[in-house]
Structure 1
Amino acid sequence: MSNQENISNDKKYDKLIVVLSIAIPLAVAALFGIKVDYELPVFLPPIYACVNAITAFVLVFAFIAIQNKKRKLHECLMTFAIVLSVLFLLMYIAYHITSDSTKFGGDGVEKYIYYFVLITHIVMSIAVIPFVLITYVRAITNNIEKHKKIAKITFPLWLYVAITGVVVYMMISPYY
């Protein structure tokens, strides 16, 4: 496939990437304003924190796979990472529309660290959406050179989001 065909194939997905990159954060924000009169068990947050931890491991294994030229394994792992991220998002939304948010109870330096990690996690989780989508599209359209370029940005962002999701949970878990 020529470079021009790759670019043309990428362009087909541009509108969908923009729509999803805007719609997902807006939907999550809007859903925080909705409360369903059904409280999900408190064990859901540790489950979605584990999903974040697994996502981090999968991302690292996918990176190792591609470094070792195991492209098919890399593709499978990256698809799995996307599925895990969607699963996390669905559980996160389900929990937060049915349960009150837990307030962080620490103080002093711990409080500042928690809010720094939380805020950077939230900002990066929004910012990583278009990066993941663009990176994935460039892979499925076989635009490998551009895929490699953006993956160098996407990988550390996504890994940061996955790891800090676990850190945020660990820091707030005593207050559930």
Structure 2
Amino acid sequence: VNKQKASFGLSGALAKDEVTGKVVNGVTLKYNPPADRILPSVQWRFFVFKGDEVLDTLFVHRKDNFLLGSNDKVCDILMEHGSISGQHAILQYRRVPYSGKKEKFMGSMVCKPYLMDLDSTNGTTLNKEKLDGRRYYELRKGDVISFGESTREYVFMVEKNKKK
């Protein structure tokens, strides 16, 4: 008798099962926040441009993540262009080890912003480079992001401290 050995490797069945995903307003979310999520201490903003005109300023520092897309039931930042997916991308703040050159911060943890395309149909670009789906990209001050085929550009900036 030839017995088959048990396989204890990961099958991926849970990842494929939409029932295990978080449901908000009847919609299964495509994204689960990581364990290292953190509320930012810096007041980040998206300045929304169409050409040279500033259309809006979006405050993106009051939560640890912001879902961007066209589904008004679940998205924090609603984008209504026809090329934008329902759950298009996520802005996620993460607590990560400091990797700079200032010795006084060595060994400490810092909050960094990341962007991830959620396998959208028409993609996301960061500084004119198309992002791979389901991968975190670190954002820096002044980065320019566009979604789908929309001509709007989202410039990621920090609120400057007001001098007294």
Query: TM tier, shorter chain?
Result: under 0.3
> TM-score, normalised to structure 2's length?
0.26
Greater helix percent: which structure? 1
> TM-score, normalised to structure 1's length?
0.25
Greater strand percent: which structure? 2
Larger radius of gyration: 2
Structure number with the bigger relative contact order (C-alpha 8 A, sep ≥ 6) is 1
